[in-house]
Amino acid sequence: MGRPYAETVSSAPEYGAAAPTIPRGAGREAISNAAREIFAERGYHGASIRDIARRAGLSLSALYHWHSSKQDLLAALIQESTNDYFEACEQALRDAGDNPVNRLNALVGAAVEWRVRRRIESEIRAREWRNLEPAHQARLDSLRRAATGLWKDIISDGVAKGVFHCEHPDDARRAALAACNAISQWYDPAGEIGLPELVDHYQTICLRIVDYRP
């Protein structure tokens, strides 16, 4: 990680009008916020490192202080969001006990809430994974497998205990994940369905997918 900036940093003169002043130590956060916005608006290939720096209110040299390339910045965003998702799921499972139904409900609730809370990051992660270079994909794939493994372990445990009756647990896992992943594409927090109701709906959907029979 790079050393802190001096007192403040701002965009270089080449950008024209004065950019917002970035408080000391806030450069990395400003870059991440700007990159999320630009990637969401234009996609990875439509985004330029210069536009990200301009949106962040920083010079190119300040941006390169933190990230060596646009590819490095994309990988950092996906890594941060995947870690946050995994931690949110693990936290929910700590209080869920051993019952597979309770654990699946906890996992679905955490997944739904995360995709609403971090809708933009969820979309970027799903859409731009294919644009990561092989070295970044290989490094980050273990994080994705760990997150997916939470679903696999719970569904497998439920089947083994006779609580879930799905004949094809891996297909059930993929279907449940796909349903939750799609939330960021359509859900409107200002719409008619509130978050608690949304969580309840998807918990019911996922229990049906794994063929839970109360």
Q: Which CATH superfamily is domain 8-67 in?
A: Homeodomain-like (1.10.10.60)
With cut-offs at 50, 70 and 90, classify the pLDDT of residue 26: low
Model confidence over 98-121: pLDDT tens digits? 999 999 999 999 999 999 999 888
Q: Which CATH architecture has domain 71-209?
A: Orthogonal Bundle (1.10)
Please report which helix (H) or strand (E) contains residue 21, including its range.
none
pTM: 0.79
| 11, pLDDT greater than 70 | no
Residue-level pLDDT at 147:
87
Question: pLDDT above 70 covers what percent of the chain?
Answer: 88
For the CA atoms of 86, 56, 120, 87, the dihedral, rounded to the nearest 10 degrees, stands at 10
Domain ranges of the chain: 8-67, 71-209
User: What per-residue string of b and e applies to 110-143 under the rule 16 or more CB within 10 Å gives b?
Assistant: bbbbbbbebbebbbbbeebbebbeeebeeebeeb
